Chain A
Amino acid sequence: MTQHSVTHATFTIVRHYDASPDRVFAAWAQKDRKARWYASHAGRRSQDFTLDFRIGGREHLSIAGPDGVVHTFDGQYQDIVPNERIIYSYDMHLDRTRISVSLTTVELKADGTGTKLIFTEQDAFLDGHDTASQRETGTRSLLDSLAAFLATGDPD
């Protein structure tokens, strides 16, 4: 019989970007921009990425890891305040197994000529499949990709 469990965790990452809040926001809100820093892994761009960026809209991303396991992200937007905040909930699957359900808030605050980004995620990890430290590590990597993208001038 499957042993079921849920582990709850919260983590916060604060980053500074040398770009205005509206440029940082556009990197999250516009599909072609987001695909360049978000929908890629180890240099490979996902072919399965959809984004309907509005309150109630959905997002889908499916990407295969080097070991062939498919990571799938399915999210929906709960609140959007342009250039200020994005709130979404999502689940993650590894192949067909749901490993977590999460609530993420992204806050953008003007910081001199740049932006302070506060990323907070509250997670429910299911049945021992993932951990807060792994998720946080993965998220830091994502926020590094965003920095690299913004440094290129964030072309669309």
Chain B
Amino acid sequence: MTERSIHHSTIVIERTYDASPSRVFAAWSTREALLRWGNPGDGWDLAYDHFDFRVGGGDINRFGPRGGPTFRNETTYFDIVPDVRIVSASSMTSEGKHIFASLITAEFILAGKGCRLIVTEQGAFLDGHDKRANHEAGWSEMLDKLRIELLRTQVAA
């Protein structure tokens, strides 16, 4: 019988980027950009089964190390203020088990000519399957990749 537990934890992580809030927001709201930076693991696979960025819409993605366990994330967008903030709720499963639920807030704040991004993940870790340290590492990896994405699209513009 499964030992049931919930561990609640809030992670706050921020970065300042040399790009306008509008460009950073665009990288959070388009599938093509997210495929490039939204993968929490180095060299992991990421695919979207569904993508509908609007209030009341959501997305479903699958990600994980090549040849390793697959994680499935289902997200619903509750609040979107263009170029200002996104608030969404997500459920993560792995091999059919619910391992994590969260509320994610992304705030895009004008900082000089750039953008200060603050990500707050309020999470509920279920039944000991996942832990905070994994998520801190995952967000750090993604936000570093976002910097590369923004440089790449700046050069292309």
Contacts and interface: CB of A to CB of B under 8 A. Distances in A.
Nearest to A80: B98
Interface on chain A toward B: helix, strand, loop, or mixed SS? strand
Interface in A1-39: 4, 6, 8, 10, 12
B6 A107 contact: yes
B124 A105 contact: yes
A124 B119 CA distance: 12
A103 B105 contact: no
Interface residues of B, number: 25
Nearest to A126: B79
Contact of A78 (B4, B84, B98): B98
In this complex, the interface size class of chain A, counting residues with CB under 8 Å from chain B, is: 20 to 34
A78 B78 contact: no
A40 interface: no
B87 A122 contact: no
A105 B6 contact: yes
Contacts of A6: 85, 87, 105, 107, 120
A102 B102 CA distance: 9
Contacts of B4: 81, 84-85, 107
B79 A105 contact: no
B4 to A, nearest CB: 6
11 contacts: A76-B89, A85-B6, A87-B124, A89-B78, A89-B89, A91-B78, A107-B4, A120-B124, A122-B8, A124-B103, A124-B120
Interface of A: 4, 6, 8, 10, 12, 76, 78-79, 81, 84-85, 87, 89, 91, 98, 101-103, 105, 107, 120, 122-124, 126
